[in-house]
Chain A
Amino acid sequence: MAETAREPILEVRHLVKHFPLTRGVLFKRQVGAVKAVDDISFELFRGETLGIVGESGCGKSTVAKLLMNLEQPTSGEILYKGEDITKLSGRALKAVRRNIQMVFQDPYTSLNPRMTVGDIIGEPFEIHPEAAPKGDRRAKVRELLDVVGLNPEYINRYPHQFSGGQRQRIGIARGLALNPEIIICDEPVSALDVSVQAQVINLMERLQDEFELSYLFIAHDLSIVRHISDRVGVMYLGRMAEIGTDREIYEHPTHPYTQALLSAVPVPDPEARDRRERIILHGDVPSPANPPSGCRFRTRCWKAEQRCADETPLLAVPEVLRDAEGPVRHPSACHFAEERTVVPA
């Protein structure tokens, strides 16, 4: 899919978000900043799914909020079809919002408990009246319920009358209402039971084909991300560590963090228990308010040398792999990148 249409629909350039840390009640002064997102660039192509993985505090949810214009970036650009949406406001911003929608993590808090399902899914039409004439809205909502696999008769029910999986379908229907081109999915299945996760993932894949959607799929579950994504970016402490196609990342990881992350995932195969190589990282993720100099991962990395502290590795095809052929050759922000297979085939 990614091969046929190489036209980026969304381009993120040097995106930075620092949350100021302040002291004092009346006279606030800044005493530092949480560097939630620190210079991130990537592209999202039409009809593809870009997965973003990383552990809590890596900034992946902040990226989602920035893309949704729920937070203003400290610097950097977000180009939607060549236009920087961070500079937009008012009517122009509202128009862009029609095309970028979001599915939230927690289906229990993302639906207003005092509104009916019909009102929730119909709200996009009330905010953007041009999207559907007034008389058609009810019918549209019913159609959307049907599309996400819910009985249209439930239009007058309230969210608490549904199970988690059903609620997530309602959230997806709301995201689809305005016929967007891009859907940002922030951990859309992590709150669901295993047997229901598969239903929702299948639904999302079907909708992508049906409506030619581009997904930015943010999750911590590496197996699900591999399943749904065409390309995957690995984030660590506000930076992108490695990015590439699912095969490049999962089968030929070159960044030590990606390797450690992949090796730590529990695999549902007891036979692999003994033959798997585990990279156990020591220590915790440093605070984003006070990140290490140079490479962010160096404090937990077994390869770290003085150079890693002095020089920030850029996200590019590493020098040592410049001449390599095949899937090993992909951007990886490490001075000492080398291939290491950690997922047993």
Chain B
Amino acid sequence: MSDRTERPTADEPNATTGTTGPVETTSSGAVRIDKSAEAPADRDTPLLEVRDLQVEFRTREGVARAVNGVNYSVNAGETLAVLGESGSGKSVTAQAIMGILDTPPGHIAGGEIRFRGEDLLTLSEDKRRAIRGDRIAMIFQDALSSLNPVLSVGYQLGEMFRVHRGASRREARERAVDLMERVRIPAARERVNDYPHQFSGGMRQRIMIAMALALEPDLIIADEPTTALDVTVQAQVMELLAELQREFHMGLILITHDLGVVADVADRIAVMYAGRIVETAPVKELYAAPAHPYTKGLLESIPRLDHKGKELYAIQGLPPSLTALPSGCSFHPRCPLSTERSTTERPPLHPVLDASEAPVAGRGSACHYWKETLHG
């Protein structure tokens, strides 16, 4: 990419800001919290680190920039929520991490994806395949279409052990039953030979979770895992996922558009808009005081369960076309704070400072006017 050097992410001023204590800023500018109590051996290497990732798609209308320099990192035992609307690039980033991007039309135009310090993008296909499913697993939104309809769930679960662990058929079947019990599928032993369509939506999503957990991966990427489920079932599944995550001390990347789900389970949150991260923060602080107008607009635009409320605040306009991103800040055409500067200068991910001008742990906002947003 010839224009990579122009991207502000490459030479962000905050990349080297010397923050101390629990906060660290990685060399790429992604702000993260260091949970020093965990994994003392590699406390400087996060479990997964995405650096300046760029993904493009060739479409009829031209090149669509689905991901434009995304930085984030996840530690073991931590839940990072990646929040965004359709077209924000949240799922494409996940596909790039998993190595399941449709190429063509998509291709990775730049950046690094470091898993335990090793760049996945430079690995051979064989090595990547060994990591995929084994060390990094993914849970999809639509469990029915992610499971093969002509194979029994027991076979599909057991396949993981046969392929990655060389288990015998019988062993694999036993492990499958174990897994189904672990995700609390009633009468697992009797149902191990049933086919996906014989299970309800919630049970199928449990099977997907079981499959992701099969090899006890270090990192799970869950792409809208409960969107297709009913509210009461959604609660069961999210609780199960959170519990298993604690038990196995896994990193979890939760990709969602649902601000409610995020508030329920996430530790940290990265808000994406038009292929970039516009705000990142610990979850409680983000909900209490958002530092980006987009986040703020989203939070104000959702109706509340606990009171009726008056007219909803609506973010004006539409998300931009990825083939023709606005200049400067991609959000400026919809932003109430936008100025001349927003249209010409792309805001880097500024560290967010508190009242005493000290950086707030793990917070960043890609807005020139984050201060006004935070306090306004």
Contacts and interface: CB of A to CB of B under 8 A. Distances in A.
Contact of B236 (A195, A222, A270, A281): A281
B311 interface: yes
Contacts, number: 136
Contacts of A140: none
A230 to B, nearest CB: 10
B215 interface: no
Interface in A280-332: 280-285
Contact of A201 (B202, B259, B303): B303
B202 A195 contact: no
Interface stretch (A40-48, A69-77, A112-120, A257-265): A257-265
A237 to B, nearest CB: 12
Nearest to B261: A266
Contacts of B301: 194-195, 197-198
A277 to B, nearest CB: 12
Given A271-B284, A280-B239, A227 B304 contact: yes
B283 interface: yes
Contacts of B315: 195, 198-199
B305 A199 contact: no
Interface residues on B, range: 35 or more
B230 A55 contact: yes
Taking each of A202, A246, A267, which has the highest tally of chain B beta carbons within 10 Å of its own beta carbon?
A: A267
B263 A268 contact: yes
B235 A264 contact: yes
A264 B306 contact: no
A194 B259 CA distance: 9
Given A194-B301, A195-B298, A266-B261, A227 B231 contact: no
A268 B308 contact: no
Specify the main secondary structure of chain A where it touches its partner.
helix
A193 B86 contact: yes
B264 A266 contact: yes
B233 interface: yes
Given A194-B85, A223-B303, A284 B231 contact: no
B314 A265 contact: no
B258 A266 contact: yes
A82 interface: no
Given A193-B319, A195-B85, A270-B283, A264 B299 contact: no
**Which of A224, A227, A250, A283 has the largest number of chain B CB atoms within 10 A?**
A227
Given A273-B264, A278-B235, A196 B318 contact: yes
Interface in A219-270: 220, 222-224, 226-228, 246-247, 250, 260-262, 264-270
Given A194-B302, A195-B85, A268-B287, A226 B231 contact: no
Interface of A: 55-56, 163, 165-166, 193-199, 201-202, 205, 220, 222-224, 226-228, 246-247, 250, 260-262, 264-273, 278, 280-285, 343-345
30 contacts: A163-B319, A165-B318, A193-B86, A194-B259, A194-B298, A194-B301, A194-B302, A195-B301, A195-B319, A198-B301, A198-B312, A198-B315, A201-B303, A220-B230, A223-B302, A223-B303, A226-B304, A227-B304, A264-B234, A264-B235, A266-B258, A267-B263, A268-B299, A269-B263, A270-B264, A271-B287, A281-B236, A284-B202, A343-B305, A345-B307
Interface of B: 85-86, 186, 200-203, 230-236, 238-239, 257-264, 266, 283-284, 287-288, 297-299, 301-309, 311-316, 318-319
Closest CB pairs A-B (n = 5): A266-B260, A227-B303, A55-B230, A198-B301, A198-B314
